[in-house]
């Protein structure tokens, strides 16, 4: 069992500050007191089916009504069986029918400062047009469309166009390499690729289409590629395969009825890392996912029609799916979407955007907040942030000092902070303060949302006592839960449902405090969290050993000021020189195999990777060494950990 975050446990244990919601916030909040929260929680717990039946009927449009709310058969669940709905219809047509056609849906700003706004009516027209483009390429319900695009309105349009016609999107974060794209395209048998000529990042063009050209050479199932012109760079267009977005869309009609889809139809897959080397395509559904994204958005962000909401996540991650696109649009929200880096042209870009667009709800990641702290208060001080009323975080635990800075410096002491715990697999937020109701404690995600039944168990599967850490499981199904791993339902069963039979295993450790507050304490497996993004140490190791000079590799996470965790690798070389040039070559290799996000911060060469007698890598020892907790001698040359390993014995 991993103890990678044990340092963090000590920290949060000492945290006893508590912040009740500001009365100016609670007075206007939908759920405005702890009693109100508890009433709702108990009501859903005592009769979940009655609650979700009523919510599904009032919050979603049904082309055909469902005939059951929840059916459970072992680990297989079915929500709203027999019903037919459509996520895109619920996000667009339903809001237009309700009289909000002229409400702004998306306010977009590109990194160079170009802007665009789309009302619900305009977004609907663009989505229908692009849905017709997809149909024209032969895309049918159940086909997989791979999306590798910058944070532009067209990325949201592409996702919505897919779900409108029942195509399954697989969004791949635009930082992944050609190899990583090809792996995902092949696993999913993707039929169509959507991309752009490039994107803007810190003033430079990242040529996405070049990467796609390499990826598509290895993606035989992909027959067509549609390319958005974003940066106007030269790019090669392959005759018969590639088309420009603007040309294809210009010819397409604005009329495209949403396809009625089964409640349980797969809406999208999203690849994420597990504890093996192979990323898994997490499979989400239509009705249950849609309802969960919408309800959790309304609850957690206490959303009101006059809010300007900004979630800074990229659509390449689940946060972008649920809280840039589907949750806010289903609710009828007005959102800000931003293409680029937080420090371009300067470190005040986020605060400039908040002031310019009068953002009222800001949802971002602890890693970004830590960078803001480091960049200095002067970038914040020159802006008027008084439009903000609520702040959120996601992706990893937030350390209490960073929480306090966010609260005071950005929130002016008046904005509640919602620390939202959830996962790609859960589809939406699972634990978070309801901002008008639940007093917050810096570093705790506080309480489960209505419908979420967490339990913490020890290794013998017994519930643990107060303040004792254990494995966090979810005891009952919820509408937004994953329904499988694409093409590998055995792996899904094994990974999530076998450790604690009948319960969903989150992979996180957690503890419950005296007040019934949850504290997440890091992973139980070899998943590391770099800047809020999940990576498996084994993925990095596999990439490393695929380099011709590497004999063996062990990758571990170590604490990092900004990223939360950084990757440290220990390498044994095959007859090659340990040198700075070799380090550079290995970094380049990982960038090519996975992408920039997986490039290790530390590369250390050693005589041998220390192992137990049974051959297991001594990860705990390596973690300690990587974190500098254990002196390991001269790091400029080959290191020999065998002595340390012997001293430690075979404890792992
Ligand atoms: C893992 C999920 C959820 C969208 C972004 C990441 C960690 C996430 C928190 C939080 C402590 C957190 C967990 C979780 N995590 N949010 N508020 N406090 N830890 O999605 O890539 O699926 O990663 O991120 O370890 O299991 P993901």
554 domain-assigned? yes
pLDDT at position 542 over 50: yes
Minimal CA–CA distance to 315: which of 158, 182, 168? Answer: 158
573 domain-assigned? yes
State the pLDDT at residue 5. Answer: 39
Please spell the DSSP secondary structure of 534-583, one letter per residue.
Answer: EEEHHHHHHHHHTSTTEEEEEEEEEEETTTEEEEEEEEEESS---SHHHH
Q: Which of 520, 526, 536, 598 to mutate to test the pocket of ligand 1 (most atoms within 8 A of CB)?
A: 520
Confidence of residue 615 (pLDDT cuts 50, 70, 90): confident
pLDDT at position 9 over 90: no
DSSP state of 515: T
Tell me the C-alpha distance between 126 and 103, whole Å: 15
Give the residue-averaged pLDDT of 272-293. Answer: 93
- Please provide residue 442's backbone torsions phi and psi, each rounded to the nearest 5 degrees: -55, 120
- Please provide residue 202's backbone torsions phi and psi, each rounded to the nearest 5 degrees: 50, 45
State the pLDDT at residue 649. Answer: 59
Cα 416 to ligand 1 centre (Å)? 20
- Read off the tokens for 553: 């590799």
Tens of pLDDT, residue by residue over 129-162, are 999 999 999 999 999 999 999 999 999 999 999 9
83 domain-assigned? no
559 domain-assigned? yes
State the pLDDT at residue 105. Answer: 98
Tens of pLDDT, residue by residue over 339-383, are 999 999 999 999 999 999 999 999 999 999 999 999 999 999 999
State the pLDDT at residue 639. Answer: 74
Cα 226 to ligand 1 centre (Å)? 32
Cα 488 to ligand 1 centre (Å)? 23
With a 6 Å cutoff on the Cβ, whether 105 touches ligand 1 is no
539 domain-assigned? yes
With a 6 Å cutoff on the Cβ, whether 363 touches ligand 1 is no
Please spell the DSSP secondary structure of 10-43, one letter per residue.
Answer: HHHHT----BPPPHHHHTT-SS-SHHHHHHHHHH
598 domain-assigned? yes
With a 6 Å cutoff on the Cβ, whether 445 touches ligand 1 is yes
With a 6 Å cutoff on the Cβ, whether 185 touches ligand 1 is no
pLDDT at position 650 over 80: no
Tens of pLDDT, residue by residue over 228-259, are 999 999 999 999 999 999 999 999 999 999 99
pLDDT at position 51 over 50: yes
State the pLDDT at residue 329. Answer: 98
Tens of pLDDT, residue by residue over 574-591, are 989 999 999 999 999 999
Mean residue pLDDT across the chain: 94
Confidence of residue 194 (pLDDT cuts 50, 70, 90): very high
Cα 422 to ligand 1 centre (Å)? 5
- Which atom belonging to ligand 1 lies closest to the Cα atom of 419? 17
pLDDT at position 285 over 80: yes
Tell me what percent of the residues of the chain surpass a pLDDT of 90.
Answer: 86
Least confident of 217-231, 284-298, 310-324, 625-639: 625-639
Tell me what percent of the residues of the chain surpass a pLDDT of 70.
Answer: 95
pLDDT at position 7 over 80: no
Cβ(526)–Cβ(565) under 8 Å?
no
- Which atom belonging to ligand 1 lies closest to the Cα atom of 393? 17
pLDDT at position 168 over 60: yes
Minimal CA–CA distance to 557: which of 275, 144, 279, 340? Answer: 275
16 domain-assigned? no
Burial of 600 (C-beta count, 10 Å sphere; 0-12/13-18/19+): buried
pLDDT at position 4 over 50: no
Total count of domains within the chain: 1
State the pLDDT at residue 8. Answer: 39
CATH code, domain carrying 563: 3.30.300.30
With a 6 Å cutoff on the Cβ, whether 419 touches ligand 1 is yes
Confidence of residue 647 (pLDDT cuts 50, 70, 90): low
pLDDT at position 33 over 80: yes
State the pLDDT at residue 2. Answer: 38
Residue 631 structural domain: 527-648
DSSP state of 610: -
Q: Which of 273, 300, 529 to mutate to test the pocket of ligand 1 (most atoms within 8 A of CB)?
A: 529
State the pLDDT at residue 631. Answer: 64
537 domain-assigned? yes
Tell me the C-alpha distance between 517 and 210, whole Å: 48
- Which atom belonging to ligand 1 lies closest to the Cα atom of 421? 17
Cα 409 to ligand 1 centre (Å)? 24
Q: Given the structure tokens 């949201």, which residue do they identify?
A: 156
Give the residue-averaged pLDDT of 160-180. Answer: 98
Give the residue-averaged pLDDT of 79-83. Answer: 98
- Please provide residue 5's backbone torsions phi and psi, each rounded to the nearest 5 degrees: -110, 20
Confidence of residue 6 (pLDDT cuts 50, 70, 90): very low
pLDDT at position 633 over 80: no
State the pLDDT at residue 641. Answer: 77
Q: Report CA-CA distances (Å) from 390 to 25, 406, 518.
A: 9, 11, 21
State the pLDDT at residue 206. Answer: 97
């Amino acid at each position: 069992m991993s103890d990678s975050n044990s340092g963090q446990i000590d920290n949060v244990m000492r945290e006893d500050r508590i912040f009740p919601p500001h009365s100016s916030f609670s007075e206007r909040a939908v759920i405005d007191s702890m009693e109100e929260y508890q009433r709702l929680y108990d009501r859903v717990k005592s009769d979940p089916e009655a609650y979700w039946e009523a919510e599904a009927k009032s919050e979603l449009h049904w082309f055909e009504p469902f005939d059951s709310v929840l059916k459970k058969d072992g680990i297989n669940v079915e929500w709203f069986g027999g019903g037919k709905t459509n996520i895109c219809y619920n996000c667009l047509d339903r809001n237009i029918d309700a009289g909000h056609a002229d409400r702004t849906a998306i306010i977009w700003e590109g990194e160079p400062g170009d802007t665009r706004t789309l009302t619900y009516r305009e977004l609907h027209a663009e989505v229908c047009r692009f849905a017709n483009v997809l149909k024209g390429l032969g895309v049918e319900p159940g086909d997989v469309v791979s999306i590798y695009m910058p944070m532009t309105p067209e990325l949201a349009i592409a996702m919505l166009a897919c779900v409108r016609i029942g195509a399954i999107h697989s969004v791949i974060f635009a930082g992944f390499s050609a190899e990583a794209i090809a792996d995902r395209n092949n696993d999913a048998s993707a039929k169509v690729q959507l991309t752009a000529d490039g994107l803007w990042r810190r003033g430079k063009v990242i040529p996405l289409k070049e990467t796609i050209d390499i990826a598509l050479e290895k993606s035989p199932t992909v027959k067509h590629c549609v390319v958005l012109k974003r940066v106007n760079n030269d790019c090669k267009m392959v005759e018969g395969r590639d088309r420009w977005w603007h040309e294809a869309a210009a010819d397409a009609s604005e009329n495209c009825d949403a396809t009625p889809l089964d409640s349980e139809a797969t809406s999208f897959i999203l690849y994420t890392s597990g504890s093996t080397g192979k990323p898994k395509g997490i499979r989400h559904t239509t009705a249950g996912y849609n309802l969960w994204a919408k309800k959790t958005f309304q609850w957690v962000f206490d959303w009101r029609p006059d809010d300007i909401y900004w979630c800074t996540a990229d659509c390449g991650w689940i946060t972008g799916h649920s809280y840039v696109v589907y949750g806010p649009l289903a609710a009828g929200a007005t959102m800000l979407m931003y293409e680029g880096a937080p420090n371009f042209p300067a470190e005040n870009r986020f605060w400039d955007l908040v002031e310019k667009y009068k953002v009222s709800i800001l949802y971002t990641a602890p890693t970004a907040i830590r960078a803001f702290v480091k960049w200095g208060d002067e970038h914040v001080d020159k802006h008027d942030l008084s439009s903000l009323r609520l702040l959120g975080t996601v992706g990893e635990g937030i350390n209490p000092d960073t929480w306090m800075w966010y609260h005071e410096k950005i929130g002016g002491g008046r904005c509640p902070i919602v620390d939202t715990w959830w996962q790609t697999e859960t589809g939406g937020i699972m634990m978070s303060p309801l901002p008008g109701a639940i007093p917050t404690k810096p570093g705790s995600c506080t309480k489960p949302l209505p419908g979420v039944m967490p339990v913490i168990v020890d290794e013998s599967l017994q519930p643990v006592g107060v303040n004792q850490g254990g494995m966090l499981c979810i005891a009952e199904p919820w509408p937004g839960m994953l329904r499988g791993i694409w093409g590998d339902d055995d792996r899904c069963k094994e990974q999530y449902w076998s450790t604690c039979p009948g319960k969903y295993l989150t992979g996180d450790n957690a503890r419950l405090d005296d007040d019934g507050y949850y504290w997440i304490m890091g992973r139980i497996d070899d998943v590391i969290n770099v800047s809020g993004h999940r990576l498996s140490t084994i993925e990095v190791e596999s990439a490393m050993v695929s380099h011709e000079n590497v004999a063996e590799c062990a990758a571990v996470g170590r604490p990092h000021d900004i990223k939360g965790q950084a990757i440290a690798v220990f390498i044994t070389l095959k007859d090659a020189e340990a040198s700075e040039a070799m380090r550079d070559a290995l970094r380049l290799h990982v960038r090519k195999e996975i992408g920039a996000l997986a490039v290790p911060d530390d590369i250390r060469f050693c005589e041998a990777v220390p192992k137990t007698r049974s051959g297991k890598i001594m990860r705990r020892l390596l973690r300690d060494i990587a974190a500098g907790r254990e002196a390991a001698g001269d790091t400029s040359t080959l290191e020999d950990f065998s002595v340390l390993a012997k001293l430690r014995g075979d404890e792992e």
